[in-house]
Structure 1
Amino acid sequence: MAETVTNKGFLGWVEKTGNRLPDPVFLFFYLIIALMAISQIAAWTSFSAPHPTQVTDGGTPLIIESASLFSAENIQRLWVEMPKTFTHFHPLGYVLVVMLGAGVAERSGLFSSAIRAAVRNAPKFLLTPLVALVAMLSNHAADAGYVVMIPLAGILFASAGRHPLAGIAAAFAGVSGGFSANISPGQLDALLFGITEAAYGASNIDAGWTMNIAGNTYFIIALLLIYLPVIWFVTDKVIEPRLGKWTPAPDAAVQAGDEDKPLTAEQQKGLRMAGLAVLGVCALWALMTFGPGTPLLADGPGTDGDPWYQKAGPFFRSLVAGFLILFLAAGWAYGAAANTINNHRDLVNMMTEAMKDLGYYLVLAFAAAHFVAMFGWSNLGLISAVHGADAIQSSGLPLPIVLGLIVLFSALLNLFVGSASAKWALLAPVLVPMLMLLGVSPEGATAAYRVGDGATNIITPLMVYFPLILVFARRWQSDFGLGSLTAMMIPYSVWMLITGVVLMMGWIFLGLDFGPGAPAHITVPGTGG
């Protein structure tokens, strides 16, 4: 029955088309081949553009000429610099460092216990918003948000006499649809801003911009505040009435799993110890930022009268290491109290297992690193950005509408390419410099992409956790199919996309900062915009 549903209509076409796409690793490989061919054609046709910031000795704009990737120089560069191209790929180091700590926090049981403690005793009236809130916050817990929060939400709704599928829908919308909504930056910020930095570095645009993983903090908090009532409304007023009244099976065939068991005394003690560890790490970072010597604040000439965030470059760049220490300390403290970490060897083993889980990401990063680097060598990214910026300016489209269209394009692309990092690695080399030339900061470009990427996660069967959510739903309704799950999640996707686009357009229109020291608008020297 599920196959019949999914083979029909637009969603069936999306599923079949997406399934024909190659793995993202090979997708990058094919794109590199296509890029090489395009670069040769561009070189033959003298595809070029005036540099937006650099001029010749005579004062005329420097002309950027496309370079063939088949040239002797670039062929040599490809083979000689291959290790450097891979190891210097900016997201790689950020992700590996953060995941060393997050792996301990996840494997020690900290993330799982924290999620269960947050929602298990929620009042019935506040059950939906609390499930949605914890689901969005659980994105910092990586897989734990999907594996623990979503089945737990079904059990919580059932125990409250509500339809468990509504709970699963609310949690799925929060974990996956609200993928970028949170109260603080985390692993996703390190990953995406690493790609943003790589795209900026390859653009040859001098705007004095430095990578800051807190650069979308204000925006993702606003996303959380907007998505929370959206998920609440859609769950209680659209999805649950459509599902109808839920009546438990007479034979109680579906039993609650470990997700609904009360926390043990050791787990409760572990959470308390983890909380103290978090406070300790925060205090340490505050001391290094505002205490004697202020090692995490710039203290050079011309900084005395600047706002703190303009001197906080070292602080922002230290946050990747800060999350490593935070997750590591909290996970170790929890594990020692809950008896899931008995000695330092257990700790090392958990960090090792976390690195094993990143095996596929390393392969993907190798392919993405070479695509991004070769795109920069060809100069096609900057040339396309210049022409794209000129076309947008000539069209007369207001900047907020341009950002709204980018959100919609990212959402559409997400139906076919599930990996957030793979899509951003494809889009960033053009979008980041193009929007910079239009006066939009790299943080603004990253934020626009994030809105579109999250909103359609919950309706694409290509999302890696989609089959798992289907399994969770079938615990409560055995005939629940892929089409049923997609149809249940479409209202969330539509409303999250609408509100996300409105937020993005309003943010750019008002010129609000996306995070501390991360303005919406920038001026690229030499462009006047």
Structure 2
Amino acid sequence: MGKVKENKKVGLLDRVLNSVEIVGNKLPDPVTIFFILCGVIFVLSAIISSQGVSAVHPSTGEEIVAINLLNKEQLKIFLGSIVSNFQSFAPLGLVLVTMLGAGIAEKTGLMEVLMKQSINKVPKKLVTGTIIFVGIVANAAADAGFIVLPPLAALVFIGIGRHPLIGMFAGYAGVAAGFSANIIVSMIDVLLAGFTGQSAQMVDPNYVVNPAMNMYFLAVSAVVLTILGAIVTEKYVAPRFGKYEGLAADTSTSKEVTPLQAKGLKYALYSLLLVVIIIVGLSIGNDAFLRDSETGSLLSNGSTLMKGIVPIITAVFLVPGFVYGKVTKSIKNDKDLVSMMGSSMSDMGMYIVLAFAAGQFLYLFNASNLGTILSIKGAEWLQNAGMTGKGLIVAFVLFAAFINIFVGSASAKWAIMGPIFVPMFLLLGYDPALTQVAYRIGDSITNPLSPLFPYFPVILAFAKKYDKNIGMGTIIANMLPYSIVFAIAWIILLLAFMIFNIPLGPGGAIYYIM
């Protein structure tokens, strides 16, 4: 658990974060909390549905009513769906499949040797910023960054003699709180732009959406958040951790890499290069195997690359890990390989239990329609609040951030909020690109704070490897500085773009003239 060093004067922020951590860690186990929340949803659904609470979906016109989950039919449905709720918990398959490959790379010793060899290549002062930046741009690989980067960042920090949780939390903050920023157009840009275009056409049928319409703003954001993320890590998060005394604490750059390990690393990197060449080769040409057969895009939802990103990432770890293991004799036969895979799965046992509980809660929350009604009612309240101009934009960012605590899916929220706010802001003279980017800021900054965020259990499971007593409070307390600083910086940056009328991206203006 993170602790402020005893020889350091404890300031107000440290006292606040310590209080958050202490209170949070006194809460029941996350599995228990999810089951308690299931009970709460059952009761709330019965109460709210009895009051006839409903909301009209802004895009479909459908009346969304609260569903009583305690009635006989709903209980039957729930009982019959418990297994499928577990199976359909979005991160479960992603995590386990990725860990099949990542586990081989770790257990053969490849990751340790790779870190030893590479750490000296990057100045220590730049390690933290590099991890934050990689986390921010990792959303180009969909959700894989949540699974891959935090544990790798922990290993990097062990390698430079620092507490692994500092690196892990920095990586998680970059991926989660900086989720919307990037230097390239990613799948989420394309996905959200579709909803934005449809919403804008409710007012202006001639509106044409450009998926890259937020690109300039998000690229600048990536740089700004990288710098601020590194500062937050070193100034506010790192001082909360002392020297790491765990089992992996003896991994350091001072230990020499043996000739056999160096040979194994060389051939592992050759095999990695071969995998990359194959991936690139399968991406070349409009009709390439990894492209969308209809649009020719590599980044669309329909592309083979995006559909297969998890097994591809698994191969990126598995192939070099296997080659390294064969060269160094840590893998002698197929039984060794399978045993390592099994060991990797056993390491994820706690996460699997968490996934079961979280899957039930998410099903109940969605089935009750409470999340949808909350989003619609909240949007209507903000619409009727009487605010205008820049204050309204800031309020919208904060509202999106609040809703994001309860409803994690960016596309699901935007499908509800877009048809309300895009036309509303468009009629006030603001371009849909501005509305979308304001939403994306709010959709990112509270990601790492919400225990309901699908990847919160993932980071908790990873963190327990280094501190078995760690709880939700530790994660929330250490993520809070990132969320606060990122929120302030992002809002200031957005206001600067508005004040100076700087385009947000290609086809993405601040103001809209019909």
TM-score by length of 2: 0.65
Displacement of 1:348 after TM fit? 1.1
- Distance in 1 (alpha carbons) for counterparts of 2:179 and 2:393: 27
Displacement of 1:38 after TM fit? 0.8
Report 1:261-300 matches (<5 A): 261-290=255-284, 294-300=288-294
Query: Which residue is 2:45 aligned to?
Result: 39
- Distance in 1 (alpha carbons) for counterparts of 2:177 and 2:353: 28
- Distance in 2 (alpha carbons) for counterparts of 1:2 and 1:450: 27
**Which of 366, 370, 378 is equivalent to 2:360?**
370
- Distance in 2 (alpha carbons) for counterparts of 1:317 and 1:25: 30
Q: Does structure 1 conserve the Cα–Cα contact (< 8 Å) formed by 2:173 and 2:482? A: no
1:87 aligns with 2:87: yes
Report 1:129-278 matches (<5 A): 129-130=126-127, 132-133=129-130, 140=148, 142-146=150-154, 148-154=155-161, 171=167, 174-175=170-171, 177-180=173-176, 225-230=223-228, 257-260=250-253, 261-278=255-272
Kindly provide the CA deviation profile for residues 421-459 of structure 1, in whole angstroms up to 9, marking residues without a partner as x.
xx876x8798565544445999997875554455999xx
Q: 1:292 to 1:265 in 2, by over 3 A?
A: farther
**Which of 3, 21, 26 is equivalent to 2:32?**
26
Q: 1:349 to 1:368 in 2, by over 3 A?
A: same
User: Which letter maps to 1:356?
Assistant: S
Q: 1:116 to 1:3 in 2, by over 3 A?
A: closer
User: Which letter maps to 2:33?
Assistant: L
Displacement of 1:323 after TM fit? 0.8
Query: Which residue is 2:64 aligned to?
Result: 64
TM-score by length of 1: 0.63
Structure 1: unaligned runs, 5 residues or longer: 55-60, 156-166, 186-192, 201-215, 244-255, 414-422, 472-484, 514-518, 522-529
Q: 1:9 to 1:239 in 2, by over 3 A?
A: closer
Report 1:443-454 matches (<5 A): 448=442, 450-454=444-448
Displacement of 1:174 after TM fit? 3.7
Q: 1:67 to 1:361 in 2, by over 3 A?
A: same
**Which of 2, 9, 16 is equivalent to 1:10?**
16
Query: Which residue is 1:502 aligned to?
Result: 489
SS, match of residue 57 in structure 2: strand
Q: Does structure 2 conserve the Cα–Cα contact (< 8 Å) formed by 1:67 and 1:379? A: yes
User: Which letter maps to 2:227?
Assistant: P
Displacement of 1:398 after TM fit? 3.6
Cα RMSD (Å): 5.1
Kindly provide the CA deviation profile for residues 121-147 of structure 1, in whole angstroms up to 9, marking residues without a partner as x.
65xxx431145425875983553532x
Q: 1:85 to 1:398 in 2, by over 3 A?
A: same
1:114 aligns with 2:114: yes
Q: Does structure 1 conserve the Cα–Cα contact (< 8 Å) formed by 2:132 and 2:229? A: no
Displacement of 1:39 after TM fit? 0.7
Report 1:343-362 matches (<5 A): 343-362=333-352
What is the count of residue pairs matched by the alignment? Answer: 422
Displacement of 1:336 after TM fit? 2.1
Query: Which residue is 1:331 aligned to?
Result: 321
Q: 1:468 to 1:504 in 2, by over 3 A?
A: farther
Displacement of 1:14 after TM fit? 1.9
Q: Does structure 2 conserve the Cα–Cα contact (< 8 Å) formed by 1:48 and 1:383? A: yes
SS, match of residue 296 in structure 1: coil
SS, match of residue 52 in structure 1: coil
**Which of 305, 313, 331 is equivalent to 1:315?**
305
- Distance in 2 (alpha carbons) for counterparts of 1:83 and 1:235: 40
- Distance in 2 (alpha carbons) for counterparts of 1:385 and 1:407: 11
Q: 1:222 to 1:282 in 2, by over 3 A?
A: farther
SS, match of residue 263 in structure 1: coil
Displacement of 1:233 after TM fit? 5.7
Kindly provide the CA deviation profile for residues 33-74 of structure 1, in whole angstroms up to 9, marking residues without a partner as x.
1111111111111000112233xxxxxx33222110012211
- Distance in 1 (alpha carbons) for counterparts of 2:392 and 2:221: 22
Q: 1:282 to 1:332 in 2, by over 3 A?
A: same
Query: Which residue is 2:98 aligned to?
Result: 98
Structure 2: unaligned runs, 5 residues or longer: 136-145, 182-187, 196-213, 241-248, 423-431, 452-458, 469-473
SS, match of residue 62 in structure 2: strand
